[in-house]
Structure 1
Amino acid sequence: MIRTLEDFLTTWKHESDSTLKIFNTLSDESLNQKVYDEGRTLGTLAWHIVVTIDEMIGKTGLQFKATPHDAPKPGTAKQMAIAYKESSDAMVQAIKDQWSDGTLVEEKDMYGETWTVATILQVLISHQIHHRGQITVLMRQAGLVVPGMYGPSREEWLAFSDEAPE
Protein backbone atom coordinates (compact mmCIF):
# COMPACT_ATOMS: atom_id res chain seq x y z
CA MET A 1 0.00 0.00 0.00
CA ILE A 2 1.28 3.44 -0.89
CA ARG A 3 0.78 5.92 1.95
CA THR A 4 3.69 8.28 1.25
CA LEU A 5 5.68 9.29 -1.79
CA GLU A 6 8.65 7.56 -0.18
CA ASP A 7 6.65 4.29 -0.15
CA PHE A 8 6.22 4.57 -3.91
CA LEU A 9 9.74 5.77 -4.65
CA THR A 10 11.32 2.94 -2.66
CA THR A 11 9.19 0.29 -4.35
CA TRP A 12 9.58 1.87 -7.78
CA LYS A 13 13.38 1.90 -7.41
CA HIS A 14 13.47 -1.88 -6.94
CA GLU A 15 10.87 -2.59 -9.63
CA SER A 16 12.35 -0.25 -12.23
CA ASP A 17 15.84 -1.66 -11.57
CA SER A 18 14.39 -5.15 -12.09
CA THR A 19 12.73 -4.08 -15.33
CA LEU A 20 16.01 -2.61 -16.56
CA LYS A 21 17.81 -5.88 -15.72
CA ILE A 22 15.29 -7.67 -17.91
CA PHE A 23 15.47 -5.12 -20.73
CA ASN A 24 19.28 -5.14 -20.68
CA THR A 25 19.23 -8.94 -21.07
CA LEU A 26 17.03 -8.91 -24.18
CA SER A 27 18.55 -9.51 -27.58
CA ASP A 28 17.18 -7.91 -30.71
CA GLU A 29 16.32 -11.38 -32.01
CA SER A 30 14.30 -12.18 -28.87
CA LEU A 31 11.95 -9.24 -29.48
CA ASN A 32 9.97 -11.34 -31.99
CA GLN A 33 9.38 -14.26 -29.59
CA LYS A 34 5.70 -15.22 -29.13
CA VAL A 35 3.91 -17.92 -27.17
CA TYR A 36 1.40 -18.45 -29.98
CA ASP A 37 0.75 -16.96 -33.40
CA GLU A 38 -1.86 -14.41 -32.30
CA GLY A 39 0.01 -13.45 -29.12
CA ARG A 40 1.99 -10.34 -28.39
CA THR A 41 5.70 -10.47 -29.06
CA LEU A 42 8.26 -10.00 -26.33
CA GLY A 43 9.16 -6.67 -27.94
CA THR A 44 5.53 -5.53 -27.95
CA LEU A 45 5.21 -6.35 -24.24
CA ALA A 46 8.45 -4.56 -23.40
CA TRP A 47 7.43 -1.48 -25.36
CA HIS A 48 4.02 -1.54 -23.67
CA ILE A 49 5.78 -1.24 -20.29
CA VAL A 50 7.79 1.72 -21.60
CA VAL A 51 4.89 3.73 -23.00
CA THR A 52 2.56 3.02 -20.09
CA ILE A 53 4.58 5.40 -17.92
CA ASP A 54 3.43 8.31 -20.09
CA GLU A 55 -0.01 6.88 -20.77
CA MET A 56 -0.94 6.21 -17.14
CA ILE A 57 0.99 8.81 -15.15
CA GLY A 58 0.25 11.46 -17.75
CA LYS A 59 -3.41 11.22 -16.71
CA THR A 60 -2.50 12.45 -13.22
CA GLY A 61 -1.41 15.86 -14.48
CA LEU A 62 2.25 15.29 -13.57
CA GLN A 63 4.43 17.28 -15.96
CA PHE A 64 7.41 15.26 -17.21
CA LYS A 65 9.05 14.15 -20.42
CA ALA A 66 8.49 10.48 -21.14
CA THR A 67 8.32 8.38 -24.26
CA PRO A 68 4.86 9.22 -25.62
CA HIS A 69 2.27 6.48 -25.26
CA ASP A 70 1.74 6.46 -29.02
CA ALA A 71 5.43 6.40 -29.97
CA PRO A 72 6.34 3.73 -32.53
CA LYS A 73 8.14 0.68 -31.18
CA PRO A 74 11.89 0.87 -31.88
CA GLY A 75 13.73 -1.98 -33.53
CA THR A 76 16.31 -2.71 -30.85
CA ALA A 77 16.25 -3.88 -27.26
CA LYS A 78 18.84 -1.24 -26.35
CA GLN A 79 16.57 1.57 -27.59
CA MET A 80 13.73 0.18 -25.46
CA ALA A 81 15.95 0.01 -22.38
CA ILE A 82 17.12 3.60 -22.90
CA ALA A 83 13.56 4.86 -23.42
CA TYR A 84 12.39 3.05 -20.28
CA LYS A 85 15.20 4.43 -18.11
CA GLU A 86 14.73 7.98 -19.38
CA SER A 87 10.95 7.87 -18.85
CA SER A 88 11.25 6.29 -15.40
CA ASP A 89 13.94 8.73 -14.27
CA ALA A 90 11.95 11.72 -15.56
CA MET A 91 8.81 10.51 -13.78
CA VAL A 92 10.65 10.02 -10.49
CA GLN A 93 12.23 13.47 -10.63
CA ALA A 94 8.92 15.11 -11.50
CA ILE A 95 7.20 13.35 -8.60
CA LYS A 96 9.90 14.61 -6.22
CA ASP A 97 9.61 18.14 -7.61
CA GLN A 98 5.84 18.49 -8.08
CA TRP A 99 4.04 16.25 -5.59
CA SER A 100 3.67 15.93 -1.84
CA ASP A 101 2.21 13.12 0.24
CA GLY A 102 -1.10 14.97 0.00
CA THR A 103 -1.15 14.41 -3.76
CA LEU A 104 -1.68 10.70 -3.15
CA VAL A 105 -5.28 11.19 -2.00
CA GLU A 106 -6.24 13.35 -4.98
CA GLU A 107 -8.79 11.69 -7.24
CA LYS A 108 -8.28 11.42 -11.00
CA ASP A 109 -10.33 10.07 -13.89
CA MET A 110 -8.76 6.81 -15.02
CA TYR A 111 -10.40 4.77 -17.74
CA GLY A 112 -13.88 5.98 -16.83
CA GLU A 113 -13.38 5.41 -13.10
CA THR A 114 -12.18 7.61 -10.26
CA TRP A 115 -8.86 6.51 -8.76
CA THR A 116 -6.63 8.16 -6.18
CA VAL A 117 -3.10 8.99 -7.26
CA ALA A 118 -1.90 6.33 -4.77
CA THR A 119 -4.03 3.74 -6.59
CA ILE A 120 -2.67 4.86 -9.97
CA LEU A 121 0.89 4.45 -8.72
CA GLN A 122 0.12 1.00 -7.28
CA VAL A 123 -1.50 -0.10 -10.53
CA LEU A 124 1.52 1.17 -12.48
CA ILE A 125 3.78 -1.04 -10.34
CA SER A 126 1.49 -4.07 -10.59
CA HIS A 127 1.04 -3.61 -14.33
CA GLN A 128 4.79 -3.57 -14.84
CA ILE A 129 5.30 -6.70 -12.70
CA HIS A 130 2.52 -8.51 -14.59
CA HIS A 131 4.02 -7.85 -18.02
CA ARG A 132 7.56 -8.48 -16.80
CA GLY A 133 6.39 -11.97 -15.79
CA GLN A 134 5.07 -12.57 -19.29
CA ILE A 135 8.38 -11.36 -20.71
CA THR A 136 10.39 -13.79 -18.58
CA VAL A 137 8.47 -16.74 -20.04
CA LEU A 138 9.19 -15.48 -23.55
CA MET A 139 12.85 -14.94 -22.62
CA ARG A 140 13.15 -18.60 -21.58
CA GLN A 141 11.54 -19.68 -24.85
CA ALA A 142 14.01 -17.48 -26.73
CA GLY A 143 16.94 -19.13 -24.92
CA LEU A 144 17.86 -16.11 -22.79
CA VAL A 145 18.94 -16.27 -19.17
CA VAL A 146 16.44 -14.56 -16.89
CA PRO A 147 18.08 -12.37 -14.23
CA GLY A 148 16.87 -12.63 -10.65
CA MET A 149 14.50 -9.97 -9.40
CA TYR A 150 13.31 -11.11 -5.96
CA GLY A 151 16.25 -13.38 -5.35
CA PRO A 152 18.57 -15.35 -7.60
CA SER A 153 17.35 -16.93 -10.81
CA ARG A 154 18.11 -20.59 -11.44
CA GLU A 155 21.27 -19.69 -13.36
CA GLU A 156 22.42 -17.26 -10.67
CA TRP A 157 21.76 -19.88 -8.00
CA LEU A 158 23.82 -22.46 -9.92
CA ALA A 159 26.70 -20.00 -10.17
CA PHE A 160 27.24 -20.23 -6.42
CA SER A 161 25.83 -23.70 -5.64
CA ASP A 162 25.91 -27.16 -7.21
CA GLU A 163 22.15 -27.29 -7.57
CA ALA A 164 19.23 -24.93 -7.68
CA PRO A 165 16.23 -25.47 -5.42
CA GLU A 166 13.30 -27.29 -7.01
Structure 2
Amino acid sequence: MYTSSLQQNILAELHHELASTRRILERVPFDQADFKPHPKSMSLWQLATHVVNLLAFKTLFVTHDSRDFLDPNAPKPGPTPTSHAELLERFEEYSTTLRKELQASTNEHLTHNFKLHRGEQVIFDHPKGTALRIMGLNHSIHHRGQLTVYLRLLDIPVPGLYGPSADDKN
Protein backbone atom coordinates (compact mmCIF):
# COMPACT_ATOMS: atom_id res chain seq x y z
CA MET A 1 0.00 0.00 0.00
CA TYR A 2 1.32 3.43 -0.92
CA THR A 3 1.78 5.99 1.82
CA SER A 4 3.21 9.47 1.74
CA SER A 5 5.47 8.70 4.71
CA LEU A 6 9.12 8.28 3.79
CA GLN A 7 9.63 6.14 6.87
CA GLN A 8 6.69 3.85 6.06
CA ASN A 9 7.76 3.46 2.42
CA ILE A 10 11.28 2.46 3.45
CA LEU A 11 9.91 0.05 6.06
CA ALA A 12 7.62 -1.58 3.48
CA GLU A 13 10.47 -1.99 1.00
CA LEU A 14 12.77 -3.24 3.75
CA HIS A 15 10.19 -5.83 4.85
CA HIS A 16 9.99 -7.25 1.32
CA GLU A 17 13.74 -7.24 0.70
CA LEU A 18 14.58 -8.82 4.08
CA ALA A 19 12.20 -11.71 3.39
CA SER A 20 13.82 -12.25 -0.03
CA THR A 21 17.32 -12.01 1.42
CA ARG A 22 16.51 -14.56 4.11
CA ARG A 23 15.30 -17.03 1.45
CA ILE A 24 18.66 -16.71 -0.32
CA LEU A 25 20.71 -16.97 2.89
CA GLU A 26 18.83 -20.11 3.92
CA ARG A 27 20.23 -21.84 0.84
CA VAL A 28 23.87 -20.78 1.25
CA PRO A 29 25.79 -24.02 1.88
CA PHE A 30 28.33 -23.66 4.67
CA ASP A 31 30.17 -26.74 3.39
CA GLN A 32 31.04 -24.77 0.23
CA ALA A 33 31.99 -21.56 2.06
CA ASP A 34 35.27 -21.18 0.16
CA PHE A 35 33.68 -21.32 -3.30
CA LYS A 36 34.69 -18.44 -5.58
CA PRO A 37 33.47 -18.12 -9.17
CA HIS A 38 36.57 -16.09 -10.02
CA PRO A 39 39.88 -15.37 -8.25
CA LYS A 40 38.90 -11.71 -7.78
CA SER A 41 35.51 -12.65 -6.29
CA MET A 42 34.70 -12.87 -2.61
CA SER A 43 34.20 -16.39 -1.34
CA LEU A 44 30.62 -17.55 -0.91
CA TRP A 45 30.89 -17.15 2.86
CA GLN A 46 32.51 -13.72 2.67
CA LEU A 47 29.71 -12.55 0.39
CA ALA A 48 26.93 -14.03 2.54
CA THR A 49 28.47 -12.47 5.65
CA HIS A 50 28.79 -9.13 3.86
CA VAL A 51 25.09 -9.20 2.94
CA VAL A 52 24.22 -9.75 6.61
CA ASN A 53 26.69 -7.18 7.93
CA LEU A 54 25.26 -4.54 5.60
CA LEU A 55 22.19 -4.58 7.85
CA ALA A 56 24.28 -3.13 10.68
CA PHE A 57 25.61 -0.53 8.25
CA LYS A 58 22.04 0.46 7.31
CA THR A 59 21.26 0.89 11.00
CA LEU A 60 24.15 3.38 11.22
CA PHE A 61 22.43 5.51 8.57
CA VAL A 62 19.44 5.84 10.89
CA THR A 63 21.22 6.16 14.24
CA HIS A 64 24.28 8.24 13.36
CA ASP A 65 25.12 11.30 11.27
CA SER A 66 28.38 10.02 9.82
CA ARG A 67 30.80 7.11 9.55
CA ASP A 68 34.52 7.53 9.03
CA PHE A 69 36.18 4.39 7.70
CA LEU A 70 39.45 5.55 9.25
CA ASP A 71 38.00 5.79 12.77
CA PRO A 72 39.34 2.80 14.72
CA ASN A 73 36.57 3.26 17.32
CA ALA A 74 33.71 3.20 14.80
CA PRO A 75 31.16 0.40 15.22
CA LYS A 76 32.05 -2.77 13.36
CA PRO A 77 30.13 -5.99 12.79
CA GLY A 78 31.03 -9.04 14.82
CA PRO A 79 33.43 -11.77 13.77
CA THR A 80 32.70 -13.91 10.74
CA PRO A 81 29.93 -16.40 11.51
CA THR A 82 31.29 -19.93 11.91
CA SER A 83 28.11 -21.81 10.99
CA HIS A 84 25.00 -21.47 8.88
CA ALA A 85 22.89 -21.18 12.04
CA GLU A 86 25.10 -18.34 13.30
CA LEU A 87 24.77 -16.50 9.98
CA LEU A 88 20.97 -16.71 10.14
CA GLU A 89 20.95 -15.69 13.83
CA ARG A 90 22.99 -12.59 12.98
CA PHE A 91 20.67 -11.83 10.08
CA GLU A 92 17.66 -11.96 12.43
CA GLU A 93 19.42 -9.87 15.10
CA TYR A 94 20.56 -7.18 12.67
CA SER A 95 17.18 -7.16 10.85
CA THR A 96 15.31 -6.70 14.14
CA THR A 97 17.60 -3.86 15.20
CA LEU A 98 17.28 -2.10 11.86
CA ARG A 99 13.48 -2.37 11.85
CA LYS A 100 13.30 -1.12 15.44
CA GLU A 101 15.51 1.91 14.76
CA LEU A 102 13.69 2.76 11.57
CA GLN A 103 10.28 2.47 13.27
CA ALA A 104 11.50 4.78 16.05
CA SER A 105 12.69 7.30 13.47
CA THR A 106 10.65 10.10 11.92
CA ASN A 107 10.28 11.48 8.43
CA GLU A 108 12.10 14.62 9.54
CA HIS A 109 14.99 12.62 10.98
CA LEU A 110 15.34 10.74 7.69
CA THR A 111 15.85 14.06 5.87
CA HIS A 112 18.98 14.84 7.95
CA ASN A 113 22.22 14.07 6.18
CA PHE A 114 24.45 11.08 6.69
CA LYS A 115 28.08 11.48 5.64
CA LEU A 116 30.16 8.45 4.76
CA HIS A 117 33.83 9.34 4.54
CA ARG A 118 37.41 8.18 4.81
CA GLY A 119 39.10 10.97 6.72
CA GLU A 120 38.69 14.09 4.60
CA GLN A 121 37.56 12.14 1.52
CA VAL A 122 33.75 12.25 1.36
CA ILE A 123 32.29 9.16 -0.25
CA PHE A 124 28.63 9.91 0.31
CA ASP A 125 26.76 12.83 1.88
CA HIS A 126 22.98 12.61 1.44
CA PRO A 127 19.81 12.51 3.51
CA LYS A 128 19.50 9.42 5.69
CA GLY A 129 16.48 8.21 3.69
CA THR A 130 18.52 8.43 0.49
CA ALA A 131 21.47 6.70 2.17
CA LEU A 132 19.17 3.87 3.23
CA ARG A 133 17.86 3.45 -0.31
CA ILE A 134 21.12 3.81 -2.27
CA MET A 135 23.92 2.63 0.01
CA GLY A 136 21.65 0.36 2.04
CA LEU A 137 18.92 -1.38 0.10
CA ASN A 138 20.36 -1.08 -3.41
CA HIS A 139 23.81 -2.14 -2.22
CA SER A 140 22.34 -5.18 -0.45
CA ILE A 141 20.18 -6.12 -3.43
CA HIS A 142 23.28 -5.98 -5.65
CA HIS A 143 25.20 -8.39 -3.41
CA ARG A 144 22.16 -10.62 -2.94
CA GLY A 145 22.04 -10.87 -6.74
CA GLN A 146 25.64 -12.00 -6.70
CA LEU A 147 24.69 -14.67 -4.17
CA THR A 148 22.02 -15.99 -6.54
CA VAL A 149 24.69 -16.41 -9.23
CA TYR A 150 26.91 -18.32 -6.79
CA LEU A 151 23.97 -20.59 -5.92
CA ARG A 152 23.22 -21.17 -9.61
CA LEU A 153 26.87 -22.06 -10.30
CA LEU A 154 26.77 -24.51 -7.38
CA ASP A 155 23.54 -26.01 -8.79
CA ILE A 156 21.55 -24.99 -5.73
CA PRO A 157 17.93 -24.05 -6.51
CA VAL A 158 17.44 -20.28 -6.47
CA PRO A 159 14.23 -19.08 -4.83
CA GLY A 160 12.03 -16.53 -6.54
CA LEU A 161 12.59 -12.98 -5.39
CA TYR A 162 10.19 -10.88 -7.48
CA GLY A 163 8.13 -13.77 -8.79
CA PRO A 164 8.93 -17.41 -9.48
CA SER A 165 12.48 -18.37 -10.41
CA ALA A 166 13.34 -20.93 -13.07
CA ASP A 167 13.73 -23.43 -10.21
CA ASP A 168 10.25 -22.64 -8.86
CA LYS A 169 8.73 -23.48 -12.26
CA ASN A 170 10.19 -27.02 -12.37
TM-score bin (small chain): 0.7 to 0.9
Deviations for 1:79-104, whole angstroms, at most 9, x for unmatched residues? 1122012101111012212x111112
Structure ranking higher in helix proportion: 1
- Alpha-carbon contact 1:25-1:144 (below 8 Å) kept: yes
Q: Which residue of 1 aligns with 2:67?
A: none
1:97-112 residue pairs with structure 2 within 5 A? 97=104, 99-111=105-117, 112=122
- Alpha-carbon contact 1:57-1:120 (below 8 Å) kept: no
Percent identity of paired positions between Structure 1 and Structure 2: 25
User: Runs ≥4 in structure 1, deviation > 4 angstroms?
Assistant: none
Local SS of the residue matching 1:155: coil
Q: Calculate the TM-score normalised by the size of structure 1.
A: 0.83
Q: Which residue of 1 aligns with 2:63?
A: 61
Q: Which residue of 2 aligns with 1:164?
A: none
Q: Are residues 15 and 59 of structure 1, via their aligned partners in 2, closer, same or farther at CA, if it must alter by over 3 Å?
A: closer
Quick check: 1:118 aligned with 2:120?
no
Deviations for 1:111-149, whole angstroms, at most 9, x for unmatched residues? 323210111110211011100111111111122111110
- Alpha-carbon contact 1:24-1:78 (below 8 Å) kept: no
Q: Name structure 2 gaps, 5 residues minimum.
A: 65-74
Distance in 1 between the 2:165 and 2:61 partners?
35
- Alpha-carbon contact 1:33-1:141 (below 8 Å) kept: no
Local SS of the residue matching 2:169: helix
Structure ranking higher in strand proportion: 2
* TM-align CA RMSD: 1.8
- Alpha-carbon contact 1:52-1:69 (below 8 Å) kept: no
Local SS of the residue matching 1:156: coil
Quick check: 1:156 aligned with 2:168?
yes
Distance in 1 between the 2:130 and 2:61 partners?
13
Distance in 2 between the 1:69 and 1:141 partners?
31
Distance in 1 between the 2:5 and 2:113 partners?
14
- What code does the residue aligned with 1:36 have? H
Local SS of the residue matching 1:17: helix
Distance in 1 between the 2:77 and 2:128 partners?
22
Q: Name structure 1 gaps, 5 residues minimum.
A: 63-67, 159-166
Q: Are residues 151 and 13 of structure 1, via their aligned partners in 2, closer, same or farther at CA, if it must alter by over 3 Å?
A: same
Local SS of the residue matching 1:32: coil
1:57-96 residue pairs with structure 2 within 5 A? 57-61=59-63, 69-96=76-103
